[in-house]
Structure 1
Amino acid sequence: MRDSLEALLDQLADTLTLLGHEAAIAMQRATAALVDCRLRLAEQVISGDTDIDDLRAQADEFATQALALQQPVATDLRAVVAAIHVASDFERMGGLAKHVATSARRRYPDRVVPESVQPLFRSMGEVSVDLARKAAEVVRTRDVQLAEAIDRGDDEMDRLHRELFAVLMDPGFGGDVQAAVDLTLLGRFYERYADHAVAVSRRVVYVVTGSRPGPLAV
């Protein structure tokens, strides 16, 4: 029974790692679609969201089997319960990347992001992708130090988000109300994406240590 449980946990970790990498790829493509006005990339992200949903369903199935058939305890039980939440976090990250891509497709051939704030959104995309990849690695390795680094890395996203808000509030901002609304929503998508990556890292810390390092994203 122990061997069966370990096999299920390995399959679960592999699926979650892949899910995290897919969420990173989705945001990388979505950001390029948004900033560079690339319709094909936007459509790839939108259509590919079903693959992320399928991976989440697969992870849930492995977790259900582990709970129902193997009756895990202690660290193994924490790992299975946390995995269910991690799968949800990664799926939501994929959904947020889809929102970014949908915004790009909706405005095509016009650009959603004015030239003045394109560097900000490129930076938010880079930070997001880096956090997602690190979160996937944390799931694979259970590296608590890397998990804590992700938690700290979210500060950069918060800084970029504040910078975007300052630009939108500046009287010199040349966009209209619709542009301001679009950019505000897009900034929020990136911020929430990073929050879910942090949530993944904190759930892994909980699995390893048995204690929660702080509030989790919902």
Structure 2
Amino acid sequence: MREVFHDTLEDIQNRLVEVAELVAEAIEKATTAFTTGDVALAEEVIAGDERIDQMVLTTDEIAIETLAMQQPVARDLRIIVTVLRASASLERMGDLAEHIALLVRQRYPERAIPKGLKKTFKRLGELDVLVAKALVELLRTEDLRYSTQIRDTDDEIDELHASVYERVLGDSFGGEVSGAIDATLASRYHERFADHAVAISKKVVYLATGDWSGEEDVSTIEIVDENAS
């Protein structure tokens, strides 16, 4: 029975990784669609969000049933708590990717990015994808150096998010009101996506160490960002 229990825990963790992989795929498609105006790609993201939601629901149901039937303790309990908390954030990350895609659909055949902000949003998209892929590896391996990578990348995203606000609220912004609204919403979606990844990374630290503070003392690792200049 104990072996069956641990097989179930492994299955739950694997399901969470699968959800994270779908979210990473969704944000990559959504941000590409946003910078290129590719409405067909945006529609793929919108249609795919239901699959993410369903996988989260199934994972949660298995985790809750396991919690009720097995009454786990120590690390086993931390696994289930982490899965339940992380799945909610992953579901929200999928929603944020969908929101970005919806902006593409709403503005088609025009592009949602105001003039002068394309480079900024291209970089925001690259960083969100980098965060999403690092999160997949963090959940797969529990290598806490990925947590540091996510946190550091989030700092850069926050800076870019602030720069978008400064641009659209500045006197030099010559775009239409609709463009300013799209830019503000899209920037917020990008920023919140990374925030949820940081929240999940703290939960993985808790899983690995039992420390709920989310602070870890690990050396950063190099995760190749092929889009970095």
Q: TM-score, normalised by structure 2?
A: 0.90
Confirm whether residue 187 of structure 1 aligns to residue 163 of structure 2. Answer: no
Q: Matches of 2:193 and 2:167 in 1, distance apart?
A: 21
Confirm whether residue 5 of structure 1 aligns to residue 5 of structure 2. Answer: yes
In structure 1, the residue matched to 2:221 is none
* Structure 2 counterparts to residues 123-202 of structure 1, below 5 A: 123-202=123-202
Q: Matches of 1:67 and 1:149 in 2, distance apart?
A: 31
Q: TM-score, normalised by structure 1?
A: 0.94
Runs of 4+ in 1 over 2 A off after TM superposition: none
Q: Matches of 1:203 and 1:148 in 2, distance apart?
A: 13
Matched-pair identity in %: 40
In structure 1, the residue matched to 2:34 is 34
In structure 1, the residue matched to 2:222 is none
Q: Matches of 2:66 and 2:133 in 1, distance apart?
A: 26
Q: Matches of 2:213 and 2:160 in 1, distance apart?
A: 24
Residue pair 1:154, 1:198 contacting (<8 A) in 2 also: yes
Structure 2: runs of 5 or more not aligned: 216-229
Q: Matches of 1:33 and 1:152 in 2, distance apart?
A: 25
How far the C-alpha of 1:214 sits from its partner, in A, is 4.7
The C-alpha deviation readout for 1:103-123, integer Å capped at 9, x for no partner, is 110110011102411111111
Secondary structure, counterpart of 2:213 in structure 1: coil
Q: CA RMSD in A?
A: 1.4
The C-alpha deviation readout for 1:146-169, integer Å capped at 9, x for no partner, is 212212221011111112122112
How far the C-alpha of 1:172 sits from its partner, in A, is 1.4
Residue pair 1:11, 1:62 contacting (<8 A) in 2 also: no
Residue-pair matches, total: 215
How far the C-alpha of 1:87 sits from its partner, in A, is 0.8
In structure 2, the residue matched to 1:106 is 106
Amino acid at match of 1:31: T
How far the C-alpha of 1:130 sits from its partner, in A, is 1.0
Q: Matches of 1:18 and 1:125 in 2, distance apart?
A: 21
Q: Matches of 2:184 and 2:194 in 1, distance apart?
A: 16
- Point out the structure with the larger helix share: 1
The C-alpha deviation readout for 1:156-194, integer Å capped at 9, x for no partner, is 111111121221122111112221111111110011000
* Structure 2 counterparts to residues 18-29 of structure 1, below 5 A: 18-29=18-29
Q: Matches of 1:139 and 1:193 in 2, distance apart?
A: 16
Residue pair 2:205, 2:214 contacting (<8 A) in 1 also: no
In structure 1, the residue matched to 2:116 is 116
Secondary structure, counterpart of 2:111 in structure 1: coil
The C-alpha deviation readout for 1:90-143, integer Å capped at 9, x for no partner, is 111000000000011011001110241111111111111111111121111111
Task: Name whichever of 81-90 and 56-65 sits farther off.
Answer: 56-65
Q: Matches of 2:138 and 2:154 in 1, distance apart?
A: 15
Amino acid at match of 1:111: R
